[in-house]
Amino acid sequence: MEAGTRVWSYESNGEDPWILSEIISRSSNSITLKHINSEGSSDTTESPKPFTRQLLTSSSNAEDSASEGAKYEGVELANAQLSSADIADGMDNDMISLPHLHEPAILHAVSERYFRGEIYTWTGPVLIAVNPFQRLPLYTREILENYRQEGFIRSQNLGVDSNAKPLGPHVYSIADRSYRQMMADERKSQSILISGESGAGKTETTKIVMLYLTTLGTPEDSAGGGGGGPNVEVGVEEIHDSNEKLSIMERVLQSNPILEAFGNAKTLRNDNSSRFGKFIELGFNRAGILQGARVQTYLLEKVRIGFHASGERNYHIFYQLLRGATEEQHHKYCFHDGLTGGLELANYFHLTGQGGAPTLREFTDEEGLKYTLKSMRSMGWDEGKIDMVLSIVAGILHLGQVKFESKMSDGGQEIAQIADDKTVADAAKLLGVDVDKLTTALTVRIMVTRGDEIRIDLAPDKAQDARDALAKTVYGALFLWVVKEVNTCIMWENDKDIRSSAGVLDIFGFESFAVNSFEQLCINFTNEALQQQFNKFIFKLEQEEYERENISWAFISFPDNQDCLDTIQSRPKGILTMLDDECKLGQRGSDRNWAKRLNETYLPEKNQEVSENTRYSATKMQQAKGIFCVRHFAGNVAYTAETSFLEKNRDEIPLTAQTLFEEDSSDLIKEIYNVQVAASEDTSASAKSGAAKSKTVSQQFKAQLTSLIEMIETTDPHYIRCLKPNDAAKPKLMTRKRLTEQLRYGGVLEAVRVARMGYPVRMDHSGFFKRYRMLLPSISEDRLPWSAEDQDPQQLSEKLLDIVLEEGAKPSNYVNEDGSISRANQIRKAQRQPDAMVFPKEDVQLGKTKIFMRKGPHDKLESHRVFHQNASVTLIQSWMRMMQQNRRYLIMEDAALTIERWYRGCLGRARWWRLREAQAGQLLTNNFRMQINRRKYNKARSGTVLLQALYRGRNARKIIAATKIQSYYRMHVHSKAFRKLKSAIISLQCRVRRGIAKKVFDQVKREAKDMGKVKEHNEKLKAEMASLKAMLQAQAANDAGKEKYEKAIKEKQAEIDRLEARIAQLEAALAKEKENVLKLENDLASQKEGNRKLTSDLQYQKEKAAQTPMRRKQSSDGVKAEQLAEAMVIGAAVSSEDLAQHHAEVARLEEELEEERKMSRAMRIQIKNLRSSMADKGVVDVTASTDYISDAVSEMSGSEMDTSDVPDPSDVEQVRYVQLLFQGWLNECSDVLFLFERQGGFVHFPLQIATLLHNRNGKLNKILTLCTCLLKCHIFRLVVLLVMGMLLLVVAMFVVHRWHHSVTYAKMSLLAVDVSIAEMSGPRMLFVGGVVSA
């Protein structure tokens, strides 16, 4: 091991036991290392701290020391990192091919493959399987077919496709290999041994192996669709559920759920842990077709019935029955939910609730019961048998509920009695036994001494132990009976048909806990025996490989662990043998006495702590506590004797229980009991003494183990080691320390040690030549080529080895023939020189395909390889550093030149800048002087101009002031003369008017003195008052008759509205039909003309609407015109028949429209007649004039007008709006006033206004709307009448007094009256559109 070599260093503390490191330096007795990561860099950001490891004591034999090489404490050589191409080619599929095969190398390889999703790895003949704790696509139908086809091609020697990628390690591969070897010419039986700790995946691996073997052993046309049929899938849940008879394959696979329900339980490490070992033997005929199977079980953990730790569970069948039973089954099995106090049944029962009754992660207990019942029915069990089995399971649960009370016997001793008789009655009923005898079995112990029976009452605590013992006995017997029934169903019918078999062993792995008891001793004893067989098998394979490669192997020793087996089982000093002897003592035997006897046997000396064979040990402290240690192949295990070793080993059926089962019990319980008795009888003792004796558990177990080992030795074994990456059952998580322990406990490292006892390093010829050709750099190409292409690699390797040994014997000489030393040799000479390559040639054996090396020669070759690599690396680094320095010099030279050029440029630019500054200074000075002189000139010029302006302004103001004085004086003179003239004229006018007024006044005084005229005047006033009263009475009569006529008019008006709506619809339809006709006739010119007219009309109406101050309803003609315009735009061509139809439709619509119009006119005439009748009867209805005006205007304009929607605005709005409009229309109203004067009446006034305004182009709508508003206002009408009366009086007075000015004065009075009318009636007037209504 030289500096720079990568090694694995062992760390006792921490989660990672082996850490990749690199050697920094080496001395004569130690090496200095530092930790690195897998990529080759330091494992932390900070500099790693170096540490040292000491050289182990070498062998006394120099030759052996040279062969083995130097060994350092906790240091192993590391393999080279594989490239991606090597990984893709499967270079790490088999770890045997690794140059260095030891614990850290195996751990690293398994870890790397695990994180790549490759859970299977070969280690020679052993398949390592790591539990992924997740579903991986590794067991599909396609993958199974690939392995089946490859196995078939290999078995037929048909060759393998060279272009196809070889299949990697898989459980299918080892199952296929066992089947093909079984079908070979020798027809030798096979066995597949699957081991591992709880949670490592043994049960699932067993299922997969059985599936593959049964698939290959089932013909294509079988009833179950097995073999290559499409129904074959991984798992048994997918097997069809039918009433037809199942195939052998399906029956074998369906047996798994039953065995798992009765033999599997949840532990802290595994949800579905097998608490028993089983060996499933599959029998095949000569054609390789599966004939049946047989199951043999080992060491059921019955102690779990009475106790299990927190977080664990009892056997699955209890929870499946409690959680999956129906209501009927609850009543049948006495599961009363109301008595649990709110607890779940699984937590209520004592046997199931100790660990908290947790649920499983993979499946529910309800589903588990369905699978179990389905498998029972598949086995051919009828419903009665299934019900009896479940009844016994329920009876065991009720038996665990039995509680005891304390009472005093007649002798004054404390004895137990049943606390609840109903619980015992339910348990007896379900178990099928007598209640009294069950009570006796629980509370009484019977002893037979010299033929006499002695009954001993038990104390409460002893009664509880008896209860748990009885429950364990019943369940153990039930389990054996279930296995027997399963074998009856799947067993082959005739032994002669079986030509060979393939067995699958699912056995518990090596166990070492904080407290180890009888179960761990039996389990480790089993693994010790299997490991010995495994070592023999590996050693045998090594011998075969050496013989195949023509390698001498006489010196290789076989590591044997027979002394450990003898320590456990030998007679008379074996641990189990002495345990049996202690059990024979009966009540005198105890666990403490047994441990004491063990220490006296193996540690006879006073202070001895380790036995002579080093397998048994116990310190003084351990001896005091009853603890002893056994050194197994996987390590030292401490067993605690005082954990009921004797009771567990006896496992005998009490006499009370025998009486209970043999008498007054059901047929099933008797059958179950007979199976238990048959399994525990000692047949050898029966042959000698004539009476059967009960065997202890250790005797039964040793007999089963001996039979198993003998059977395995007669078969070709195949090994699968299951590993558990972490205790949390999480995917993609690996605890390397736990994995290392499992590799040790599983015997993998022991197998590797056996395989590498002789030549641990093996390489193929080409790899050996490529790796070590660099050790001879001074050897020319002619003597030893550098490349192995087109040459035999075996011969090159042999030649290389000879030259290496020849050159290694020579002293190192780095000087050339001419006395010079090359750069490479200078580097080599400066380095620490490795050990000389001197070793026996026999330590490197050249086989036919491989080169076998012992560790010493390999270490020397590796140290020289590292030495030359370091020299080469140093040489390359020196060249690289030279190139870097040269490049750095060139860069610095170029940079210096660049800096010089830049500096010169800076100097030139600075000089040029100074010249520019001098020139700019001169220019700035000139400009500054120019600005000074310019400012002086501007100031002088501005002062002169200002002085001139002041002088000229003063003269101009003098002239203007003189002119103003003259003008004011002249104005005063003329104004004074005008005022004098005006005052004189006014005085003259006043004098004249005074004279006229005096004359008029005198005349009035004269008339006032005349009494006749005064009476005449009074009579006129009375007449006027009478006329006004008559007018008011007539107005009241008119109001009474008005309501009647208005009602009739409203009815007629409603009919007219309906007719008008109908007319509008007909006009729309007629317009549409006319439009269609126009489109069909395709008269484009007429269409355009019509569109133009309609467009102008629409634009006209929009302008009128914009000019109108209030919103009004759009007329029906406008809508029709708009629709007609839209309709005339669109047209389509049709046939002549369609055109004729449209013409006919137009004619019909015109006739119907004409009829509707006639009816409308008739209705209007009736309304006019009603209104005229109202007028004849004296009912004045001014609104009739509105209709008259509307009709007249309609006749003039060709369209009807709608005045029904004229709103009643507020007084303020009317006043403001009328005032604004009246000012604008004053000129137009002059003609209206003239007509009013000429007509002298109000009835025809609206018609006259409408006729006059009709001739006014563009202002018709405004005037008509004004009249409509005025005529609708009742207050306006009254005001007009009163004002007219006043006007008549005023006119009469003026006519009397001013008769000579009557005509002119009357016109002026009428104009004034109209203005006052507008002001008075303004709040009730509204001008809308142009129609006048009152």
What backbone phi and psi angles, to 5 degrees, belong to 514?
A: -65, -40
Evaluate the CA torsion angle 948, 952, 953, 955 in order and state its sign: positive
Name the strands in the sheet holding 120-123, side by side, starting at the edge strand that comes first in the sequence. Answer: 120-123, 126-130, 716-723, 190-195, 500-506, 277-284, 290-298
Taking the C-alpha atoms of residue 825 and residue 836, their distance in angstroms, rounded to an integer, is: 17
- Element containing residue 858 per DSSP (H, E): helix 855-1008
* Strand 190-195 relative to strand 500-506, pairing: parallel
**Residue 519: closest CA among 647, 616, 634, 609:** 647
Q: Picking from 236-240, 741-745, 771-775, which range would have the lowest pLDDT averaged per residue?
A: 236-240
Q: What is the DSSP letter of 72?
A: B
pLDDT tens for residues 70-121? 678 888 888 888 888 888 878 888 887 777 778 888 889 999 999 998 999 9
Q: Model confidence at 918, in pLDDT bands (50, 70, 90)?
A: very high
Pair 646, 594: CB distance under 8 Å: yes
- The fraction of the chain above a pLDDT of 70, given in percent, is 77
- Using DSSP's 3-state secondary structure scheme, residue 18 falls into strand
**Ramachandran assignment for 1154, one of left (phi > 0), alpha (psi -120 to 50 degrees), beta (any other):** alpha
State the CB neighbour count (10 A cutoff) for residue 1213. 13
Pair 398, 426: CB distance under 8 Å: yes
pLDDT tens for residues 1296-1321? 555 544 444 444 444 444 444 444 44
Per-residue pLDDT, averaged over 136-152, amounts to 90
Q: What is the DSSP letter of 627?
A: E
State the CB neighbour count (10 A cutoff) for residue 33. 25
Higher-pLDDT residue of 175, 680? 175
- Element containing residue 694 per DSSP (H, E): strand 693-694
> Looking at this protein, which amino acid is placed at residue 75?
V
Taking the C-alpha atoms of residue 1068 and residue 645, their distance in angstroms, rounded to an integer, is: 114
Higher-pLDDT residue of 904, 843? 904
State the CB neighbour count (10 A cutoff) for residue 1207. 10
pLDDT tens for residues 503-545? 999 887 788 888 899 888 998 898 888 888 887 887 777 777 8
- Give the chain's radius of gyration (CA, Å): 65
Mean pLDDT: which of 571-585, 652-666, 769-783, 1138-1152 is highest? 571-585
Position 386 scores a pLDDT of: 92
pLDDT at 924 over 50: yes
Angle, alpha carbons 725-730-732 (nearest 5°): 70
Pair 1268, 1328: CB distance under 8 Å: yes
pLDDT at 360 over 60: yes
* Strand 414-418 relative to strand 264-265, pairing: unpaired
Structure tokens at 186: 């020798």
Higher-pLDDT residue of 1241, 996? 996
Residues 6+ apart with CB under 8 A from 258: 372, 375, 376, 379, 482, 486
Residues 6+ apart with CB under 8 A from 1000: none
pLDDT tens for residues 1199-1224? 444 444 444 444 444 444 444 444 44
- Using DSSP's 3-state secondary structure scheme, residue 1200 falls into coil
Position 1090 scores a pLDDT of: 61
**Ramachandran assignment for 356, one of left (phi > 0), alpha (psi -120 to 50 degrees), beta (any other):** left
Question: Tokens 């004893």 identify what position?
Answer: 525
pLDDT at 1099 over 80: no
Position 1176 scores a pLDDT of: 60
pLDDT tens for residues 172-187? 999 999 999 898 878 8
Position 793 scores a pLDDT of: 85
Name the strands in the sheet holding 18-26, side by side, starting at the edge strand that comes first in the sequence. Answer: 51-54, 30-35, 18-26, 6-10, 75-77
Pair 210, 725: CB distance under 8 Å: no
Alpha carbon of 297 to those of 48, 700, 783: distances in Å? 54, 11, 67
Taking the C-alpha atoms of residue 548 and residue 543, their distance in angstroms, rounded to an integer, is: 8
Q: Model confidence at 164, in pLDDT bands (50, 70, 90)?
A: low
State the CB neighbour count (10 A cutoff) for residue 39. 8
Q: E strands along 11-134, which residues?
A: 18-26, 30-35, 51-54, 75-77, 120-123, 126-130
Structure tokens at 83: 């490239």
Pair 112, 92: CB distance under 8 Å: yes
Q: Model confidence at 752, in pLDDT bands (50, 70, 90)?
A: confident
How far from chain centre, in Å, is Cα 62? 67
Environment class of residue 1225 by beta-carbon count within 10 Å: exposed (0-12), middle (13-18) or buried (19+)? middle
CA dihedral 681, 683, 685, 687 (to 10 degrees): 140
Position 915 scores a pLDDT of: 93
Taking the C-alpha atoms of residue 145 and residue 141, their distance in angstroms, rounded to an integer, is: 6
Position 40 scores a pLDDT of: 52
> Looking at this protein, which amino acid is placed at residue 933?
N
Peptide bond into 17 cis (omega under 30): no
**Residue 502: closest CA among 216, 169, 167:** 216
Taking the C-alpha atoms of residue 1068 and residue 648, their distance in angstroms, rounded to an integer, is: 112
Taking the C-alpha atoms of residue 602 and residue 595, their distance in angstroms, rounded to an integer, is: 11
**Residue 525: closest CA among 584, 567, 578:** 567
Position 228 scores a pLDDT of: 37
Taking the C-alpha atoms of residue 375 and residue 235, their distance in angstroms, rounded to an integer, is: 13
Per-residue pLDDT, averaged over 1016-1027, amounts to 75
Pair 351, 400: CB distance under 8 Å: yes
Mean per-residue pLDDT over the chain, rounded? 78
What is the length of the chain? 1334
State the CB neighbour count (10 A cutoff) for residue 961. 10
Position 1225 scores a pLDDT of: 46
What backbone phi and psi angles, to 5 degrees, belong to 128?
A: -95, 125
Q: Picking from 343-357, 1055-1069, 1090-1104, which range would have the lowest pLDDT averaged per residue?
A: 1090-1104
Mean pLDDT: which of 58-62, 594-598, 749-753, 782-786 is highest? 594-598
DSSP assignment of 454-517 equals EEEEPPHHHHHHHHHHHHHHHHHHHHHHHHHHHHHHHS-S-GGG--EEEEEEE-------SSB-
pLDDT at 685 over 50: no
Q: What is the DSSP letter of 356?
A: -
Higher-pLDDT residue of 1170, 358? 358
Q: Model confidence at 226, in pLDDT bands (50, 70, 90)?
A: very low
Angle in degrees, 0-180, between the axes of helices 748-755 and 518-549, rounded to the nearest 10: 30
How far from chain centre, in Å, is Cα 1092? 70
> Looking at this protein, which amino acid is placed at residue 643?
T
Angle in degrees, 0-180, between the axes of helices 655-662 and 667-680, rounded to the nearest 10: 140
Taking the C-alpha atoms of residue 203 and residue 256, their distance in angstroms, rounded to an integer, is: 9
pLDDT tens for residues 701-746? 888 888 888 888 889 899 999 999 988 888 999 888 888 888 887 7
Give bridge partners of residue 408 from the DSSP assignment: 414
Q: Model confidence at 1118, in pLDDT bands (50, 70, 90)?
A: very low
Pair 17, 8: CB distance under 8 Å: no
pLDDT at 1192 over 80: no
Higher-pLDDT residue of 849, 1247? 849
State the CB neighbour count (10 A cutoff) for residue 448. 9
Position 898 scores a pLDDT of: 95
pLDDT at 628 over 70: yes
Q: Model confidence at 358, in pLDDT bands (50, 70, 90)?
A: confident
pLDDT tens for residues 416-434? 888 888 999 999 999 988 8
Helices (H) and strands (E) in the chain, counts: 44, 26
Q: Model confidence at 1264, in pLDDT bands (50, 70, 90)?
A: low
Position 416 scores a pLDDT of: 87
pLDDT at 757 over 90: no
Alpha carbon of 362 to those of 117, 270, 1190: distances in Å? 21, 11, 97
